[in-house]
Amino acid sequence: MNGAYGAAGKLPSEAQLCERFGVSRITVRQALDRLEEEGTVERKQGKGTYVAGKRVRHGLDALRSFHDSLVLQGLTPEMRLLSLERAAVPEHLRDRFVDRDGACVLLRRLHLVDGKPIALGASYLPRAIETLDRDVVAGQPNYALLGAINGKGVAHADIAIRAEAAAADVARTLKVKTGSPLLVMTRTSAFPNGDCCDHSTFHICPDRYEFFASCTFQLGE
């Protein structure tokens, strides 16, 4: 692909490709199969074949923020502040959250790449975040904010990933259809002393995003 069809452009039909290149339909299908295996194109049932957009790969074997995982791909992501408000700490975290009185702040931001929404993030964070300048809160990833308030940053995180149909409000924000499949990443992070300092949920458009981890097999003694 030389860019003639754009980042998500539709390719000509199989019949048109056969005529253009003077080859059989079997040859065209084999070529498209190969391109699909390589991730160069993607087939959408009932719609045709499209040039695949660049996929973002989020490694799970290193502790980094969602925003930083986009930057490491050579992208220029944008974070758009949607809201910052006082909230109650989720009940299952109250006994270990850094703010012991059960109150925290809820930060909601929209993550965009090339001007298009890729994820909606909602994060429960320490109230000390309110001492930071609002522009800093809007433009810095969670882990940078947490490092700014305690000087050490995050030491540990537990991450879970699942699939979920987009609720109406989430779909509207991400500009997808209600019920569309989304990846949902839930991340709970802690300071070095073990206090929980971040409980985030990211609803992610899956067509350009994937998670991966590198594992080493260890033989038993």
Residues 64 and 37 in one domain: no
The verdict on residue 92 lying in a domain is yes
pLDDT digits (tens, 9 = 90+) for 121-168: 999 999 999 999 999 999 999 999 999 998 888 999 999 999 999 999
pLDDT digits (tens, 9 = 90+) for 69-83: 777 777 788 999 999
Residues 175 and 78 in one domain: yes
CB 126 within 8 A of CB 105: yes
pTM: 0.73
**For the ranges 45-54, 60-69, 152-161, which has the lowest average pLDDT?**
45-54
Cα–Cα distance measured from residue 196 to residue 84, given in angstroms and rounded to the nearest whole number: 19
- β strands within 45-195, DSSP E: 48-51, 56-59, 78-88, 103-113, 116-125, 156-165, 181-190
Residues 90 and 115 in one domain: yes
How many folded domains does the chain comprise? Answer: 2
Residues 69 and 173 in one domain: yes
Give just the sign of the alpha carbon dihedral 105, 106, 112, 118. positive
Residues 67 and 176 in one domain: yes
Can you give the residue range of the structural domain that contains 23? Answer: 14-51
